[in-house]
Amino acid sequence: MRFLVIFSLFLALAPATVAFAQGGSPFSPLPQAPPPPTPTPEAQNRPGDGVTRQTMFLIAAGVIAMFAVGGFLLTRDARRSLTIEDREKLERPPADPEQVRRDRRAQEAARKKARDKARRSKAARKRTKRSR
């Protein structure tokens, strides 16, 4: 039994002797960290490496051309999908100013007639409400 106690004590103290052999006292200062590696210099941008003014003008011209082509295609498609009545309105010569004035008067008269009819029906509804 004594042998077992001595053997277990030896096993418990064996790691402590290894640790003591490595650095001496556990309260001694920590070793200094290695200095950080020096950064490698980055390549300098030369003035000719960036986007030039000529490239910017080419990009702008391309964008303008794309908008022009898109507008052309859009209007061409819109003209193709017009109904017959819409085509006639676009193709007939400009109307006589007197005819335009008459058309406006007719439209105004129709609006006035619709407003009068709405007023009369509203008044009739009020009369029937009061008589209840």
DSSP code, position 81: T
Interval 8-41: pLDDT, tens: 877 777 666 656 666 666 677 777 888 888 888 7
**How is the chain split into domains, by residue range?**
55-91, 100-132
Is the CB of residue 75 less than 8 Å from the CB of residue 82? no
Give tens-digit pLDDT for 98-126: 887 888 899 999 999 999 999 999 988 88
Structure tokens at 10: 């030896």
**58-112, pLDDT tens digit by residue?**
999 999 999 999 999 999 988 888 888 888 877 776 667 788 788 889 999 999 9
Specify the pTM: 0.34
